[in-house]
A and B are shown apart, each in its own frame.
Chain A
């Protein structure tokens, strides 16, 4: 079957479906009218209001902090898990891997609830710290899966050669394994960072007073009112995430 006109039609329709709502939202973020469907001329007023919103700036800071720390934790634990998983027998490997992947498989609400219960039970007050640990919990498997995929493709003879040449296991890891894994680690870290920045549900459950992150702030803005400020914020977020995707795509292209 050759690609036909109607296939192209449906595909273009899909693109309109995917991009239409976002494009309209961005367009209306410049709308001077407060009413959502009437065009009252172009303005930058809502963007100015965004910049002067103190609570919003705090939320952005919180988000960046949580994403940075949780991604660092996930990177260390995820790489360690990927390497550690190589030693048990294959059957055990599959079971452990399955268990480690649970956070990616269970519904997110469930994950949030489980983490909240855990923190409450061990009497750890919910705060930015618990949010960070929560984010690390779902990012460890993300890092692990990606790094493990790369690890399995490595040539085991390289490590043997290193130890034949007198390298200690640590040296072999530092100077052979780690550099070879670097592309996978960088890729997974970028991914984990973005997932953490975007996360709403786990933050919602594991956060306490004073731990408002950007998505939580967006949520409360959506819930509370009709101020076009939210349109402007959405537009900013759309542009930022698209820029991030572009950067990631370029980074991935380079090593080849």
Chain B
């Protein structure tokens, strides 16, 4: 498995042949091309969307995880299963469900028009918003599971002690609960951020041609423009970023536990 990955690295230093082949001559052209403003725009969008997705997942995932972790034990299993089931449904189908809803002549617009909230249909599909919704929808379980594990392990008496010391709800959360569940937060954010930044299906289907992300750019370079070396350079940078992020996390302990939870 490492061999193909190394091949990508090697190819990123080669250059594109006249008819789309590969010329094996060492050059750094591909890496300088990476800084073209057109491409910078695409990385920027990918990063922004991935960060926004992670933030949204954290925002709606934390209360859910907290609720599950504090529910009676026999209900915890049921809730967890409910969170996991959509994750086992084919990703394409789940993404398609949103296409179906968000279409200009789709159900959401029809309903809003009938109720009278809007006069003209809003275009949501094929915008960044649609991609954001799709990504949050797709990766929410990755956030909830590690958060649940962290909150479940939280020592209740510490929280009670904080209450006894007359902390109000906010400060109990910010100064006790949140710091103690930080490992779960970090794991969840990483598990959401990594697939979001390299997402392919979601921006492809919900974003259309206007909103490319790095994943689509790579596919485009390989299969449409057939500039393999440049595609390799982009992939390599993306991979390097992800691996560095993961390594930084391992230094803080235990990615492997989380990978297990993820699959």
Contact = CB atoms under 8 A, between A and B. Distances in A.
A24 interface: yes
Interface string A20-49: 011011001000000111100000000000
A137 B2 CA distance: 10
Interface residues of B, number: 79
A201 B201 contact: yes
Contacts of A37: 103, 105-107, 109-110
A236 to B, nearest CB: 10
A218 B89 CA distance: 13
Given A17-B137, A115-B4, A242 B89 contact: yes
A107 B198 contact: yes
A2 B70 CA distance: 8
A37 B105 CA distance: 7
A14 interface: yes
Contacts of A14: 60-61, 64, 83, 140
B200 A18 contact: no
A105 interface: yes
A18 B96 contact: no
Interface stretch (B35-43, B181-189, B235-243): B235-243
A107 B177 CA distance: 32
Contacts of B91: 198, 200
Contact of B100 (A24, A113, A218): A24
22 contacts: A1-B70, A1-B177, A8-B67, A17-B140, A21-B137, A25-B96, A36-B100, A37-B109, A100-B1, A101-B256, A104-B259, A105-B242, A106-B243, A110-B235, A113-B218, A145-B259, A195-B263, A200-B201, A201-B200, A215-B90, A219-B92, A222-B92
The 4 closest A-B pairs by CB, nearest first: A107-B198, A118-B4, A21-B97, A114-B4
Interface of A: 1-3, 6-8, 10-11, 13-15, 17-19, 21-22, 24-25, 28, 35-38, 97-110, 113-118, 121, 137, 140, 142, 145-146, 149, 191, 194-195, 198, 200-201, 205, 215, 218-219, 222-223, 230-231, 234, 237-238, 241-242, 244-245, 249
